[in-house]
Structure 1
Amino acid sequence: MIEFIRGKIDYVSPEYIVVENNQIGYLMYTPNPFVFRKNEKEIVTIYTYQHVREDILALYGFKTREERALFVKLLNVSGIGPKGGLAILASGQPQQVVSAIENEDEKFLVKFPGVGKKTARQMILDLKGKLQDMISPTDIDLFSDDYEAEIKPSNTSSALEEAIEALKVLGFAEREINKVVPQLMSEVMTTDQYIKKALQKLLK
């Protein structure tokens, strides 16, 4: 298994990033690719998980080992695949996910795309008591200012469009997204900031 790849962020899309290392571009699916936008053309370290099935060979990338560990734990839950695991990590802070599982907060868990009551209950049954030491207070908060980037007003419309596409990739229905878009249009933000703001509203 590849523990990590250290290389230059070459490309960022709504679904994945491409990291160049030794003239090879590694395509990695990540929880929220746009958090890497400010690191484009910079050298970064991405912790990886290689998912292998008969019909798929995919590489998943994470900012921390803890985030990756939580992703792997989620894959062990019946009803959650790689896409669902990424959506959960992108939609909420890892600390919030762990807290919801430990506190048996099904109401919070069912807000994630693709997670119904049955899957939420399964997450609690399979993972409660196994995650306490996984996420530390110093871990990166996807809704914190750590990812704030310089705002370019001229790109506002395209940034919002990219954010909407990213939310669709995460599994949110168009009707859900349409409810929060009007609240976002009044603000000037980067794509990542739009995504974070939308997720905060969608998970209330």
Structure 2
Amino acid sequence: MIESIQGKLECIDPYYIVVETGGIGYQVFCPNPFAFEKYRNTTIKVYTHQYVREDILRLFGFSSREERKMFEKLLNVSGIGPKGALAILATGEPSQLVEAIEGEKEEFLTKFPGVGKKTARQMILDLKGKLEDFVPNQLSLQPDYTKADAHELSEALEALRALGYVEREIKKVEKELKKEELSTDQYIKKALQLMLSL
């Protein structure tokens, strides 16, 4: 099982992205490939699900483990395959999906592509009460690469210490910096701007 792939985002297609690492380009199917547009030609980390059937071997990729877990939950529903699960995740917030399932809102579920009344009812039967790991608003379809960017942020904080800033000052700006996805140099510039505004 491939847990994740970290590498350069080489290509974005309407159905998949290509992540190159170690000289190999991995085709990774995603709910919304264009959500990765701002990461083109930069290093990203994608959490993957390896789908294996007699005639299919594919990698599906997600911006977080939580989003991947929701995909896997949807695969467990009778009548929903990978294509359907991706379409659901591409068009709705996972937190809304959880709320609809727990609240038995069939009308809301039938708004998703490929989901009719029968499938909506099946989703409720198969998943209600099994989504306790998903807290509303905890999930987002926007890529979150805070962990992937941790190295750049760590280097930037070290640079601030080298410039003579003390831990108390650094802590004041670190929280704001963690909200960004930047290079080491950009983190440093942003930190210095924040320092001046304190």
TM-score, normalisation: structure 2: 0.70
Structure 1 residue ranges without an equivalent (≥5): 143-204
Tell me, what secondary structure is at the counterpart of 1:89?
Answer: helix
Query: Are 2:9 and 2:39, in contact at CA under 8 Å, matched by a contact in 1?
Result: yes
Question: Who is 2:55 aligned against?
Answer: 55
Higher RCO, 1 or 2 (CA under 8 Å, sep at least 6)?
A: 1
**Measured at CA, do residues 31 and 78 of structure 1 come closer, stay the same or move farther in structure 2, by a change above 3 Å?**
same
Question: Who is 1:196 aligned against?
Answer: none
Question: Who is 1:128 aligned against?
Answer: 128
Question: Who is 2:68 aligned against?
Answer: 68
Question: Who is 2:168 aligned against?
Answer: none
Counterpart residue identity of residue 60, structure 2: Y
1:52-131 to 2 correspondences below 5 Å:
52-131=52-131
**Measured at CA, do residues 135 and 30 of structure 1 come closer, stay the same or move farther in structure 2, by a change above 3 Å?**
farther
Counterpart residue identity of residue 7, structure 2: G
Tell me, what secondary structure is at the counterpart of 1:98?
Answer: helix
Question: Who is 2:32 aligned against?
Answer: 32
Counterpart residue identity of residue 40, structure 2: E
Query: Which aligned runs of 4 or more in structure 1 are off by greater than 6 angstroms?
Result: none
Tell me, what secondary structure is at the counterpart of 2:70?
Answer: helix
Q: Indicate whether 1:5 and 2:5 are aligned.
A: yes
Counterpart CA distance in 1 for 2:140 and 2:8 is 20
Counterpart CA distance in 2 for 1:138 and 1:130 is 16
TM-score, normalisation: structure 1: 0.68
Counterpart CA distance in 1 for 2:38 and 2:79 is 34
Question: Who is 2:140 aligned against?
Answer: 140
Alignment deviations for residues 148-198 of structure 1 (CA, whole Å, 9 cap, x no partner) = xxxxxxxxxxxxxxxxxxxxxxxxxxxxxxxxxxxxxxxxxxxxxxxxxxx
Query: Are 2:3 and 2:48, in contact at CA under 8 Å, matched by a contact in 1?
Result: yes
Counterpart CA distance in 1 for 2:79 and 2:61 is 21
Counterpart CA distance in 1 for 2:91 and 2:55 is 27
Counterpart CA distance in 2 for 1:122 and 1:57 is 26
Alignment deviations for residues 55-98 of structure 1 (CA, whole Å, 9 cap, x no partner) = 10000000000000000010010110000000000000011111
**Measured at CA, do residues 97 and 120 of structure 1 come closer, stay the same or move farther in structure 2, by a change above 3 Å?**
same
Cα deviation, residue 141, structure 1: 4.4
Percent of aligned pairs with the same amino acid:
62
Structure 2 residue ranges without an equivalent (≥5): 143-198
Tell me, what secondary structure is at the counterpart of 1:17?
Answer: strand
Tell me, what secondary structure is at the counterpart of 2:107?
Answer: helix
**Measured at CA, do residues 99 and 52 of structure 1 come closer, stay the same or move farther in structure 2, by a change above 3 Å?**
same
Counterpart residue identity of residue 64, structure 1: S
Cα deviation, residue 23, structure 1: 1.1
Counterpart residue identity of residue 130, structure 1: K
Counterpart CA distance in 1 for 2:80 and 2:125 is 14
CA-atom RMSD, angstroms? 1.1
Cα deviation, residue 127, structure 1: 0.2
Cα deviation, residue 100, structure 1: 0.6
